[in-house]
Amino acid sequence: MRHMRWCGFVVMLLLDCVSAHAAGTLRVGMQDDPDALDPALGGTFAGRIVFASLCDKLVDLNNKLEFVPQLATAWSWSADSRMLTLTLRDGVSFQDGEKLDADAVKANIERYRSAPYSVRRSELKPVTAVEVVDPRTVRLVLSQPYAPLIAVLSDRAGMMAAPKVLDRLGKDFFTHPVCAGPFSFVERVPQDHIALQRFAGYWNAGVIHLDRIEFHPIPDSTVRLVGVQAGRLDMIEEIAPTDALKVQQDARLQLMKTTALGYEGMLINLGNGTGANPDLARDPRVREAFEASIDRGVINQVAASGLFVPDNQSELPSSPYFNQQRPVPPRDVAKAKALLQQAGVAHLTVELRTLNTPLDTQIGEIIQSMAAEAGITVKLRAGETITNISAMQHGEFQTALTIWSGRSDPDFNITQYLSCDGFQNWTKYCNPAFQTALEKGRAVTDPVQRQELYHQVAATYIADRPMLFLFHMTWLYAVSRHLVGFTPVPDGLIRPQGLLLQ
């Protein structure tokens, strides 16, 4: 009996040792293939998912939308809100062995705000200097108060890359990124997979229980679902809403979901290159007619099984920054026809770019069908993410569906698309009244004042319609039962901390 008890104790000890160490490869099915794996260049949601395992940030966001420490353990504002001082975590190493200190943070922030190729420059525009106080303390000096800065540092501009690698690779950093995250880069095969391996020197190694992560871009949601059902994948993101019931009925899987900060909208080219539709670009009444021809509720019910949140603004209807005076307008075909007639447009023909995913294709087809009843012909053009982004960058579009994964600060949910210097302002919208309200909102820290200013922001873009917001997504994941520890966060990212393959 004593021998059996001893054996049992040894077995339990061995099991504890196994669970305390990394084990196995997590295989993640993704809708899109990321763009460049460099925080200074990246612009896709898929890239942010990979970065969550590769590149820790100064500040992180939890599932309650609270800012929490990551590479910075504390931060504080000066009395005039023109200086932000950050205390850095001790004992952090980059994946090449270089130590993280204030000089490394300074090098990264300076690169983001000044490198000619950096698309983070507009996000850090108010930062005029980065000061090293001591090895564990860095101070950002601002030209004016800038309320969104903590949110900025909780995203790509807060990701820290190894300075020696940056010096060596420069703008080619994306070919072999080296950061301070839990997993280091192994390889990338475009349109096939991105492989990362556990970094043994990670500062928080005790919460990492995986050896390796593989991200597999699979645009077809049906193929992704079959992959996780067959055990070839351990989890998939952005499942089709129409597949949610299938996941719930599969004993091998768990359906996990959370309402997203992100949204899907339709960009309208107002003056980017020669691709703009002249009728849509010249007259907001034509854009209003296009909006009046569609029904967001129908799109949600038919394409998303009622799981999304129809919306006409960048903020959720439950947000204090949502302008309640500008609710989601109902469909009005008669109004659409009257507006076209007032604008002198006998017949409107519009090309709409969509992703080549089943969901986006269906959304495009629904819009096409509804618009036809108002005398508007919509021609659909589907493509994969990077192709569509390139087309929008170069003005080779009339209208295009786009997805924003969402941020915790209202400024960061609109500025990238509609600010005059927004890094994704592919419509070339630039309204001085909009810009003034936006800049005032950034400079005010009082929540009530900020709400009123962002209500003005919303009222302006709703009237101008450079972009038609359609809905806020619900992040939907199919997760194998043998994967535990996953908690959905409204920003949609897959954080590897705590994930365990049983």
Q: What is the pLDDT of residue 418?
A: 97
Q: What is the pLDDT of residue 349?
A: 98
Q: What is the pLDDT of residue 88?
A: 98
Q: What is the pLDDT of residue 164?
A: 98
Number of neighbouring beta carbons within 10 Å of residue 103: 14
pLDDT exceeding 70 applies to what percent of the chain?
96
Residues facing residue 42 across a β-bridge: none
pLDDT exceeding 90 applies to what percent of the chain?
92
Q: How confident is the model at residue 18 (pLDDT cuts 50, 70, 90)?
A: very low
- Whether pLDDT at 3 is above 80: no
Mean pLDDT of 452-462: 97
Q: What is the pLDDT of residue 359?
A: 93
Element containing residue 217 per DSSP (H, E) = strand 212-217
d(CA 385, CA 2): 63
Q: What is the pLDDT of residue 20?
A: 39
Q: What is the pLDDT of residue 8?
A: 40
Strand pairing category for 253-268 and 309-310: unpaired
Mean pLDDT of 139-156: 96
- Whether pLDDT at 6 is above 80: no
Mean pLDDT of 286-293: 98
Q: Three-state SS string across 8-65, please? A: HHHHHHHHHHHHHCCCCEEEEEECCCCCCCCCCCCCCHHHHHHHHHHCCECEEECCCC
Q: What is the pLDDT of residue 23?
A: 77
Distance of CA 432 to the CA centre of its chain: 27
Contact present, 380 and 352 (Cβ < 8 Å): yes
Tens of pLDDT, residue by residue over 428-451, are 999 999 999 999 999 998 889 999
Q: How many CA atoms lie within 13 A of 459 on its CB side?
A: 11
Q: What is the pLDDT of residue 172?
A: 97
- Whether pLDDT at 203 is above 50: yes
Buried b (16+ CB within 10 A) or exposed e, 442-472: bbbeeeeebbbbbbbbbbbbbebbbbbbbbb
Mean pLDDT of 61-81: 95
Paired tokens of 232: 């070839």
- Whether pLDDT at 389 is above 70: yes
Q: Per-residue DSSP letters for 424-438?
A: T-TT----HHHHHHH
Question: Which long-range contacts (C-beta less than 8 Å, at least 24 apart) are formed by 294-301?
Answer: 294/331, 294/366, 294/367, 294/370, 294/371, 294/468, 295/330, 295/331, 295/370, 296/328, 296/470, 296/471, 298/331, 298/366, 298/370, 299/363, 299/366, 299/367, 299/470, 299/471, 300/471
Tens of pLDDT, residue by residue over 207-242, are 999 999 999 999 999 999 999 999 999 999 999 999
Q: Per-residue DSSP letters for 53-116?
A: HH--BSEEE-TTS-EEESSEEEEEE-TTS-EEEEEEPTT-B-TTSPBP-HHHHHHHHHHHHH-T
Mean pLDDT of 180-185: 98
Higher pLDDT, 52 or 11: 52
- Whether pLDDT at 80 is above 90: yes
Q: What is the pLDDT of residue 10?
A: 35
Residue corresponding to tokens 């469909």: 331
Tens of pLDDT, residue by residue over 32-42, are 999 999 999 99
In order of start, what are the domains of the chain with their CATH numbers? 55-164 (3.90.76.10), 261-472 (3.10.105.10)
- Whether pLDDT at 108 is above 60: yes
